[in-house]
Amino acid sequence: MSQVAPRHHKTKCVVWDLDETVWNGTLLEHGGTTLRDGVREVITTLDERGILHSVASKNDPDLAMRRLEQLGLAEYFLYPQIGWGPKSESIRRIADSINIGIDTVAFVDDQPYELEEVHHSLPEVLCIDAAKTRHLPLMPEMSPRFVTSDSSIRRQMYRSEQQRRSEEHDFHGPQEAFLATLKMQMAISPAGREDLCRAEELTQRTNQLNTTGYTYSFEELDAFRASPDHLLLMASLDDKLGTYGTIGLALIETGPLTWTIKLLLMSCRVMSRGAGGVFISQIRRMARDANVRLLAEFIENDRNRMMYMTYKFNHFSEINRQGKVILLDNDLSRVQPDPDYITVTASSLQRETGEERYHG
């Protein structure tokens, strides 16, 4: 089967077969498998770009993982699925575990049957013949425009998330009590020029927790950052287990009487931590202190209903629809305090020129 590239595909995770794909030979038949030429270089190159890796292999799980450890590759593979079921189901479980859209997954296998099975069941997945492994770093689907500081540690951030999930599973008590053990710290600040690569990446990569789906280039974001009529805010999160990196972005059009949230997006990794609500609460306080009305645009799709519910929970109500755009109005008289389990630092929101815009 030839490579099948869904339109506008941008890869967040490459899922690998093992036999005759990552290594030469069939593990259960020969045992003495050797790493295929170029595979290590491809995996490490994509990892440095922030592209994750996993495994969907019909194999013995213990033997396969032991062999990956011997080859020095086990640490690169998140949520490996090794067993005897359909590979399409393995890919679904991987995407669910990482919390990414199935249309951001690429699958590499040497068997035409397996490629066809995945393509038939999951046409959104980019299916690639293992013979083309060396070409992966050259593919536009694997070539983000920017490699940011968050990109280079993305795998480590997901490893930390696995540890959080494990600790939460073993914790006995209410969720808020568990979250308090993480000692989370959120920082909200105006975007600096050094943040714009990550900001563009967020608008391009974040599909599920995105209120409007608007995408912006580095140059457009830089113009918003310098504009007296806009606020471009970034949010980052850390806890005792490490950093989540930059996890949120908001673009606000700031008129003299009305502010409008044009775009609000959050990383899928932090929504269950209540980070979205905390970010919105900070924006609401800013609008209240500036004595302006706060509106928000929302464009509904089949993925972002959680963001709509987050708006509703934070006292936004629908007042108008124009085509696909829903306009929401906020009741600023009811701004709930931040939860006790998270410490929020909101930097003084000023332009780089020093001109005062808002003091938090």
Q: Is the pLDDT of residue 360 over 80?
A: no
Read off the pLDDT of each residue in 106-134 and give the average, rounded to a whole number: 96
* Position 125 in a domain: yes
Contact 114, 284 (CB under 8 A): no
- Decide if 360 is inside a domain: no
Same domain, 334 and 195: yes
State residue 352's pLDDT score.
40
| Of 106-110, 189-193, 232-236, 353-357, minimum mean pLDDT range | 353-357
Buried-exposed string 15-45: b where 16+ CB fall within 10 A, e elsewhere: bbbbbbbbbeeebeeeeebebbeebeebbee
Spatial separation of the C-alpha atoms in residues 52 and 324, rounded to whole Å: 33
Residues 116 and 260 grouped into a single domain: no
Question: Which residues form the domain of 103?
Answer: 13-142
Listed residues 87, 114, 142: the one ending a domain: 142
Q: Two tokens at 176?
A: 């808020």
> Which tokens belong to 32?
């003495």
| From 17-31, 61-75, 84-98, 344-358, the region with the lowest mean pLDDT | 344-358
Please write the tens of the pLDDT for every residue from 252-306: 999 999 999 999 998 877 777 888 889 999 999 999 999 999 999 999 887 788 8
Task: Please state, in angstroms and rounded to a whole number, the distance separating the CA atoms of residues 68 and 25.
Answer: 14
Per the listing, tokens 């606000």 go with 252
Same domain, 136 and 160: no
Q: And the tokens for 332?
A: 């600023």
pLDDT tier at 346, thresholds 50, 70, 90: confident
Q: How many angstroms from the chain centroid is the CA of residue 141? A: 16
Encode pLDDT of 72-82 as tens digits. 999 999 999 99
pLDDT band at 8 (very low <50, low <70, confident <90, very high): low
Whether residue 320 has pLDDT greater than 70: yes
Please check whether residues 125 and 262 belong to one and the same domain: no
Residues 347, 223 share a domain = yes
Count of domains forming the chain: 2
User: Are residues 134 and 158 both part of a single domain?
Assistant: no
CB contact at 8 A, 360 and 286: yes
Residues 287 and 331 in one domain: yes
CATH code: domain of residue 35: 3.40.50.1000
- The Cα 110–Cα 104 span in angstroms is 20
Do 95 and 172 have their domain in common? no
Question: Of 116, 142, 168, at which residue does a domain stop?
Answer: 142
Of 4 and 116, more confident: 116
Same structural domain for residues 138 and 156? Answer: no
* Arithmetic mean of pLDDT, 43-47: 97
Task: Report pLDDT for 1.
Answer: 46
Q: Give the pLDDT score at 36.
A: 95
Q: Same domain for 236 and 138?
A: no
Q: For residue 356, what are the β-bridge partners?
A: 350
pLDDT tens for residues 188-228?
Answer: 999 998 899 888 888 876 666 889 988 888 999 999 999 99
| Ramachandran region, residue 27 (left: φ > 0; alpha: ψ -120 to 50; beta: rest) | alpha
Whole-angstrom Cα distance, residue 18 to residue 76? 14
Phi, psi for 154 (deg, rounded to 5): -60, -40
pLDDT confidence of residue 206 = 60
pLDDT (average), residues 244-253: 92
Tell me the backbone φ, ψ of residue 356, rounded to 5 degrees: -70, 135
Same domain, 125 and 157: no
CA pair distance 32, 20, nearest whole angstrom: 12
Residue 26 has pLDDT above 60, yes or no: yes
| 208 and 268 fall within a common domain | yes
* Per-residue confidence (pLDDT) for residue 213, from 0 to 100: 85
In the predicted structure, residue 5 carries a pLDDT above the cut 50: no
